[in-house]
């Protein structure tokens, strides 16, 4: 029995209708599932996290090669399916809940087809965790944003964050027809490997606040976007913020044209000036 027929059989048996609001588009291609596990080099020493375990097709394959599998599923109806289908695997731990809101045990690797609706918050959640490798299936557009080059339409805050924390690879393009029910767009397999940060920032938290702020105006020159950031975050008077923004590196270039390293240099300059007691300090 193929995975499409198996999917329909299970859903009928449990009286479940796929819910688009939960991103319930089930991957029905065995080759893709197997390649994802191969791309992550899963072995018996690994504890693998899977987000959005669905009907357990990927979960079962992971259980056969991994030491432990942590399967997270938000839909209680699907948790019932998983609990029954995987009852013979003693190395699978099933958690019911939102991955972003429940405690998650330590893991080494991630292999997952997560719901599209949580792609962005999930990625930022993952980037702050300790792991060796993550192989995930995302919407094609989202995946291309993760690996975009400066100056392109896909380049943005997401790109900078991914570049700062990981090496990212775009692997296989997955046609929407390999899901049931099929989503509206194609997907892409993405592999992330954590690495040493490629550049220094004086404060990671403030740097990413800066990135979030300036990329809301990515077509403007950096001086204009940064001046608004300085006014809102550090409560600088408008004229002070403009003066400081005009003096920073790359101030006359558009935000979308700047590489992550250049954005970091601009931020570090601002940070240094703001904390310098002999320079410009925040207005109370």
Q: Please state the pTM of the whole predicted model.
A: 0.92
SS3 191: strand
**pLDDT (tens digit, 9 = 90+) per residue, 182-227?**
999 999 999 999 999 999 999 999 999 999 999 999 999 999 999 9
Q: In what order do the strands lie in the sheet with 187-194?
A: 92-96, 68-73, 47-51, 109-112, 133-139, 187-194, 166-174
Of 235, 238, 246, 239, nearest to 270 by C-alpha is 246
**Dist CA 132 CA 193 (whole Å):** 6
Total Cβ atoms within 10 A of residue 33: 21
Calculate mean pLDDT across residues 14-31: 91
- Map out the domains of the chain with their CATH numbers: 3-194 (3.40.50.150), 204-275 (1.10.8)
Map residue 194 onto helix, strand or coil.
strand
Q: In angstroms, what is the C-alpha Rg of the chain?
A: 22
Q: For 130-140, what is each residue's pLDDT tens digit?
A: 999 999 999 99
């Amino acid at each position: 029995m193929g995975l499409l027929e198996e999917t329909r059989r299970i859903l009928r048996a449990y009286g479940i209708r796929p819910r688009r609001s939960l991103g319930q588009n089930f991957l029905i291609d065995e080759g893709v599932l197997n390649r994802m596990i191969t791309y992550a080099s899963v072995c018996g020493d690994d504890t693998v996290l899977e987000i959005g375990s669905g009907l357990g097709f990927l979960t079962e394959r992971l259980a056969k090669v991994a030491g432990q599998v942590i399967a997270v599923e938000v839909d209680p109806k699907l948790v019932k399916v998983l609990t029954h289908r995987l009852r013979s695997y003693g190395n699978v731990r099933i958690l019911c809940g939102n991955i972003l809101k429940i405690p998650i045990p330590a893991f080494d690797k991630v292999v997952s087809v997560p719901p599209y609706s949580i792609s962005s918050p999930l990625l930022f959640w993952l980037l702050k965790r300790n792991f060796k490798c993550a192989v995930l299936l995302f919407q094609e557009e989202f995946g291309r944003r993760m690996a975009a080059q400066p100056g392109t339409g896909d380049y943005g805050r997401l790109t900078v964050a991914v570049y700062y924390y990981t090496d990212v690879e775009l692997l296989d393009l997955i046609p929407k027809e390999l899901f049931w029910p099929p989503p509206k767009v194609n997907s892409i397999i993405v592999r992330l490997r954590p690495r040493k940060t490629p550049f220094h920032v004086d404060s990671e938290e403030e740097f990413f606040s800066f990135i979030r702020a300036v990329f809301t105006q990515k077509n403007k020159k950096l001086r204009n976007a940064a001046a608004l950031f300085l006014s809102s975050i550090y409560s600088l008077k408008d004229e002070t913020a403009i003066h400081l923004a005009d003096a920073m590196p790359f101030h006359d270039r558009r935000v979308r044209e700047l590489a992550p390293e250049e954005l970091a240099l601009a931020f570090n300059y601002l940070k240094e000036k703001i904390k310098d007691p002999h320079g410009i300090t925040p207005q109370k």
